[in-house]
């Protein structure tokens, strides 16, 4: 056996022992042993009869004297089908070598295919080649052996050398003890019992008599005693006997197509792996026609791979396509059974692979938890177990002595020492610098005032500028009687080194005076007010308690082709108007996000404002140098008609405007095309208009022209179609204006200041100082007592007009410039928008109690707009009745948050 195992593979240079697994090798040894015993028994009988031992032919001798197929299944050789074929094919050569070991290149296309029984043990149909006789197989094996190079020089190993380690003498002795006849009879009886049949003794006797009759004669055996076809002996169908594998069919030879090794449904590769190349990457065989070698060292030819069309047709036609997998070792396609699919599903779902295993079976209590009444070991305790141990006493005594001497530390002491070891090594010489001085006699100690630290003049080598000149020294000597008036209490001296410094004669006196001052000086303790950090930070309510406020994006209004600069809402809250850089004004329906009307203006629309008077349907739009008063023609039909009738004829006025007003603004008529679009009045200014805003009653509106100097702000009256210039001097670059919601006041915001004017008295009431460099927008609270300002410096400032002219609170909640701020007309909400893509909604409660400060709490950051050329959100405005907020941005959209 060791010789067989260690013989190197002639073709591939690998050891057969490295290929065989344990189960296959043991099975092979057992079968070869049985075949060798049979051959020796036949040879011995032939020698006793004086006849020349003939080689094994293609016929087998039936044991019961008949050739019936029913009785052939009871042969003694049923359990050795595989070994008989193996011994016949390997006759005359070493059993460790296979037929195709030295095969020529023409054999590369040959593929061995093994057919096996199905799981139910039923017989399967055999192909035509499977019925070949043993004689044909032997002849083909001899032809293949003749093609091998150098095989004639080697001496063929017998089956005895391969299948047994003992000497021939020992084998013969064993055979004498138990003859072949006895073995055959015992096997026949066992098989007969297994098949449920009892072989009659009469048949045995006749068979023995006939064998003895033909043993000594030279005549040929009769047909009933010759070896017949293996199909006649074993049956036409394959059968699994005694737990061993069946015969592999005769391998197909040259010129025949490859056979699928999984055609019979056998996928048990765990027991016998066909590809013997080992655990290597299979892509190494990509450039070859084969994928490895089988147990007989023959090449395993790759299976044909179809193209995408074949794969598609197979997917459509084959119902088992979804359960077909490819074996990477052989390239064959394997159809998974229902049990395999169930196993895969259980593994993927994290369950037990064995479906019959119960994870929740009752727990087996191997060791009982109940206390038994009787002891397990009923051995009486020894006397020594009741006496204290002296060794332990001495050991504990040593421990106690070590603890007293400090040699041994407790766990708490070890932890304390470890903490001390980890502390920094330096320490303060005078602990009074940081902590309270530990004094035993004085419990309530008051630390003495510290003396001043020495300066440069007290150095032994001071700079020249600290030394006295003659004039300063003379003045110092004159004040000998009044030493407290001296500039210094000593005269700075200069020495070359520290060794030359003499002793200080007044040292003792100064120490005495210092102690006297500490003794006589009255001192008292002043306790600090302990204020915790939680008291310094205001307690803000939870956002849940401040609902409702906008939290999510609801609608998106799309239709403009350029950035949307301004937005305004109808007083009733049904429609919105937007102005864009695409030179159009659009009217939208809020609930459906539908664009109702588009009005071209001919220039960039920088500001739009819906008239706050609900009795007039009018929108003011600032486009270039013109201000257009547009009838949107939405809402109540009677209201639209009433507005048109009101603006049809211009009122007559006896007053004559001054030259500076007429040169700055002109009220004009509209063309027929603009009239069809809804434009009713056009007001032309001498500079570009940046903002238009209405008074609360809807009769007055103001326009802002930053480049107009003292005529930057103009107030227009709709009912009389007149304009006014409120200022005679320029106070700065005006950014925006705003009317007070209740009082006749006008808020004018320049770049750095905000001025509040009384329109009746025509006086400046107040000037606000926000402390910023550039104001962008402002909004006033509906009650008129608080003002909100946004700046390009990312700051949001809240002014309490009754409190101070400086900001009550500054919020730094934006990461970029703030472009718009707004108050809600009903809810305690305010919002701010900027170039950081965010619209921040905050809670701003103003109380009726003047002694209570406003409550400001940021609530939600809404970040849905995109950034286009560093611009994001331009305008923000609240719905007049609902807690909704609209925002317009540079991404050509208007978004509604609810």
* Residues 809-837: tens digit of each pLDDT: 999 999 999 999 999 999 999 999 999 99
Q: Which of 322, 243, 363, 298 is CA-nearest to residue 19?
A: 298
Residue 29, Cα to own-chain centre: how many angstroms? 56
DSSP state of 243: T
Q: Which residue has the tokens 């402002």?
A: 778
Q: Is the pLDDT of residue 655 over 80?
A: no
Most confident listed range (19-33, 274-288, 813-827): 813-827
Longest dimension (CA), the chain: 165
d(CA 555, CA 536): 42
Given a cut of 50, is residue 126 above it in pLDDT?
A: no
Report the alpha-carbon distance of residue 639 to residue 575 in Å, rounded. 15
pLDDT at 49: 53
Proportion of the chain above pLDDT 70, given as a percent: 67
Least confident segment among 77-81, 511-515, 612-616 = 77-81
Distance CA 485, CA 483 (A): 5
Q: Quote the pLDDT of residue 165.
A: 40
Helix (H, G, I), strand (E, B) or coil at 333: strand
What is the per-residue pLDDT for 199?
45
Classify the C-alpha dihedral 725-726-732-738 as positive or negative: negative
Q: Which element (helix H / strand E) includes 555?
A: strand 553-558
CA distance 214 to 341: 60
CATH of 561-730, one of 1.10.10.10, 3.10.20.30, 2.130.10.10, 1.20.1050.10: 2.130.10.10
Predicted confidence at residue 226, as pLDDT, reads: 46
DSSP readout, 54-76? PPP-S----TTS---HHHHTT-G
pLDDT band at 122 (very low <50, low <70, confident <90, very high): very low
Q: In Å, how far are 181, 182, 193, 433 from 197, measured between CA atoms?
A: 20, 19, 6, 112
3-state secondary structure of 765: strand
Packing angle between helix 81-89 and helix 22-48, nearest 10 degrees?
Answer: 70
Taking the C-alpha atoms of residue 830 and residue 827, their distance in angstroms, rounded to an integer, is 9
Half-sphere exposure of 471 (CA within 13 A, CB side): 0
Q: Please provide the DSSP assignment of 563-621 as one string.
A: -EEEEEE-TTSSEEEEEETTSEEEEEETTTTEEEEEEE-SS-EEEEEE-S-TTS--EEE
Q: What is the pLDDT of residue 29?
A: 61
Residue 179's SS3 state is coil
* More confident of the two residues 470 and 373: 470
Per DSSP, the chain holds a count of helices (H) and strands (E) of 21, 33
User: CA-CA distance, 258 to 248, in Å (whole number)?
Assistant: 15
Find the mean pLDDT for residues 752-756.
93
In this predicted model, what pLDDT tens digit does every residue of 245-259 receive, in sequence order? 334 444 444 444 455
Tokens of 279: 């655990």
Range of lowest pLDDT (176-180, 410-414, 492-496): 176-180
Query: pLDDT over 90 for what percent of the chain?
Result: 37
Residue 862: enclosing H or E segment and its boundaries? strand 855-862
Please give the Cα distance from 391 to 646 (Å, whole number): 120
**CB neighbours (10 Å) of residue 580?**
26
Classify domain 737-897 at the CATH topology level. Methylamine Dehydrogenase; Chain H (2.130.10)
Element (H, E) at 673: helix 672-677
More confident of the two residues 125 and 483 = 483
Helix (H, G, I), strand (E, B) or coil at 556: strand
Give me the pLDDT at residue 893, please: 94
Distance separating the N- and C-terminal Cα atoms of the chain: 88
Strand duo 829-834 + 818-823: pairing? antiparallel
Better-scored residue on pLDDT, 10 or 777: 777
CA–CA dist 579, 602 (Å, integer):
12
Same fold, 561-730 and 737-897: yes
Mean pLDDT of 706-711: 87
CA–chain centroid gap for 742, Å, is 57
Q: How many Cα neighbours within 13 Å face the side chain of 28?
A: 19
Task: Return the ∠ at Cα 769 (arms to 764 and 774), rounded to 5°.
Answer: 110
- C-alpha dihedral (596, 602, 604, 607), degrees to nearest 10: -60
The ranges assigned to domains in the chain are 561-730, 737-897
Mean pLDDT, rounded, for 25-31? 58
In this structure, what token pair is assigned to residue 857?
A: 């709490």
Q: What phi, psi does 684 have (nearest 5°)?
A: -100, 130
Place of tokens 């500079």: 687
pLDDT, average across residues 425-454? 64
Q: What are the residue ranges of helices labelled H in 380-486?
A: 390-405, 411-422, 470-478
Q: Which residues of 678-697 are buried (b: 16+ CB within 10 A; e: fewer)?
A: bbbbbbebebbbbbbbbbee
- Residue 152: pLDDT above 50? no
Partner residues linked to 600 by β-bridges = 584
What pLDDT sits at residue 609? 95
With b for 16 or more beta-carbon neighbours within 10 A and e for fewer, the 237-271 pattern comes to ebeebeeebbbbbbbbeeeeebbebbebebbeeee
Is cis: bond before 161, omega within 30 of 0? Answer: no
The torsion angles phi and psi of 748, rounded to 5 degrees, stand at -120, 120
């Amino acid at each position: 056996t060791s010789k067989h195992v260690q013989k190197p593979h002639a073709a591939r240079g690998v050891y057969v022992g490295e290929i065989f697994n344990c189960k296959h090798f043991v099975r092979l040894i057992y079968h070869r042993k049985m075949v060798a015993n049979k051959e020796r028994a036949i040879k011995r009988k032939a020698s006793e009869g004086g006849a020349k031992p003939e080689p094994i032919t293609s016929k087998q001798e039936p044991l019961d004297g008949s050739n019936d197929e029913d009785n052939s299944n009871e042969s003694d050789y049923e359990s050795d089908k595989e070994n008989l074929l193996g011994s016949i094919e390997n006759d005359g050569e070493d059993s460790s070598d296979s037929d195709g070991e030295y095969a020529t290149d023409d054999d590369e296309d040959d593929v061995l295919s093994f057919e096996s029984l199905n799981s139910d043990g039923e017989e399967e149909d055999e192909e035509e080649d499977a019925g070949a006789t043993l004689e044909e197989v032997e002849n083909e094996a001899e032809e293949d052996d003749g093609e091998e190079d150098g095989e004639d020089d080697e001496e063929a190993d017998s089956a005895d050398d391969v299948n047994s380690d003992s000497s021939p003498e020992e084998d013969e002795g064993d055979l004498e003890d138990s003859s072949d006849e006895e073995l055959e009879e015992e096997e026949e009886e066992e098989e007969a019992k297994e098949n449920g049949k009892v072989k009659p003794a009469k048949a045995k006797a006749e068979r023995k008599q006939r064998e003895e009759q033909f043993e000594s004669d030279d005549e040929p055996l009769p047909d009933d005693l010759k070896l017949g076809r293996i199909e006649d002996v074993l049956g036409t169908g394959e059968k699994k006997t005694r737990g061993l594998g069946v015969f592999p069919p005769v391998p197909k030879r040259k010129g025949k197509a490859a056979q699928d090794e999984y055609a019979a449904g056998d996928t048990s590769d765990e027991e016998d792996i066909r590809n013997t190349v080992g655990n290597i990457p299979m892509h190494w065989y990509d450039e070859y026609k084969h994928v490895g070698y089988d147990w007989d060292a023959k090449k395993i030819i790759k299976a044909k791979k179809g193209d995408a069309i074949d794969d598609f047709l197979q997917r459509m036609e084959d119902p088992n396509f979804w359960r077909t997998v490819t074996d990477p070792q052989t390239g064959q396609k394997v159809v998974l059974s229902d049990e395999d699919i169930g196993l895969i599903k259980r593994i993927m779902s994290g369950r037990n692979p064995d479906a019959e295993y119960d994870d929740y079976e009752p727990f087996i209590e191997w060791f009982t938890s109940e206390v038994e009444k009787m002891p397990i070991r009923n051995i009486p305790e020894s006397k020594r177990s009741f006496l204290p141990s002296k060794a332990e006493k001495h050991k504990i005594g040593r421990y106690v002595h070590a603890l007293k001497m400090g040699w041994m530390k407790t766990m708490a002491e070890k932890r304390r020492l470890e903490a001390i070891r980890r502390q920094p090594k330096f320490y303060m010489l005078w602990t009074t610098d940081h902590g309270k001085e530990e004094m035993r006699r004085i419990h309530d100690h008051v630390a003495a005032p510290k003396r001043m630290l020495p300066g440069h003049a007290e150095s032994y080598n001071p700079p020249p500028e600290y030394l006295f000149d003659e004039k300063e020294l003379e003045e110092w000597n004159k004040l000998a009687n009044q030493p407290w008036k001296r500039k210094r209490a000593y005269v700075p001296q200069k020495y070359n080194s520290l060794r030359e410094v003499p002793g200080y004669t007044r040292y003792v006196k100064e120490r005495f005076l210092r102690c006297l001052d500490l003794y006589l000086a009255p001192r008292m303790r002043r306790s600090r007010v302990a204020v915790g950090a939680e008291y310094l930070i205001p307690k803000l309510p939870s956002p849940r308690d401040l609902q409702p406020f906008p939290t999510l994006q609801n609608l998106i209004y799309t239709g403009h082709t350029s950035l949307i600069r301004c937005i305004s809402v109808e007083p009733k809250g049904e429609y919105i108007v937007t102005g864009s850089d695409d030179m159009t004004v659009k009217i939208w329906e809020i609930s459906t996000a539908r664009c109702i009307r588009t009005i071209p203006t001919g220039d960039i629309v920088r500001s739009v404002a819906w008239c706050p008077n609900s009795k007039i349907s009018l929108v003011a739009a600032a486009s270039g140098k013109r201000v257009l008063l547009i009838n949107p023609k939405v809402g109540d039909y009677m209201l639209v008609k009433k507005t048109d009738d009101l603006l049809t004829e211009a009122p007559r006025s006896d007053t004559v405007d001054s030259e500076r007003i007429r040169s700055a603004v002109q009220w004009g008529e509209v063309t027929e095309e603009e009239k069809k679009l809804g434009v009713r009045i056009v007001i032309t200014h001498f500079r570009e208009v940046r903002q238009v805003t209405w008074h609360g009653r809807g009769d007055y509106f103001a326009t802002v022209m930053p480049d107009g100097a003292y005529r930057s702000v103009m107030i227009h009256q709709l009912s009389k179609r007149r304009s006014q210039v409120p200022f005679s001097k320029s106070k700065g670059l005006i950014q925006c204006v705003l009317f007070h919601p209740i009082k006749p006041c006008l808020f004018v915001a320049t770049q750095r200041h905000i001025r509040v004017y009384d329109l009746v008295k025509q006086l400046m009431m107040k000037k606000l100082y926000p402390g910023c460099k550039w104001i962008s927008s402002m909004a006033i609270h509906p009650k008129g007592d608080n003002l909100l300002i946004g700046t390009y410096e990312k700051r949001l400032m809240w002014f309490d007009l009754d409190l101070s002219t400086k900001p009550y609170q500054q919020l730094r909640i934006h990461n970029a410039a703030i472009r718009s701020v707004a108050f809600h007309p009903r809810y305690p909400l305010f919002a701010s928008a900027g170039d950081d893509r965010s619209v921040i909604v905050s809670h701003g409660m103003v109380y009726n109690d003047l002694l209570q400060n406003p409550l400001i709490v940021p609530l939600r950051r809404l970040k849905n707009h995109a950034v286009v050329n560093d611009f994001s959100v331009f305008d923000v405005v609240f719905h007049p009745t609902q807690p909704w907020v609209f925002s317009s941005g540079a991404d050509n959209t208007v978004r509604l948050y609810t």
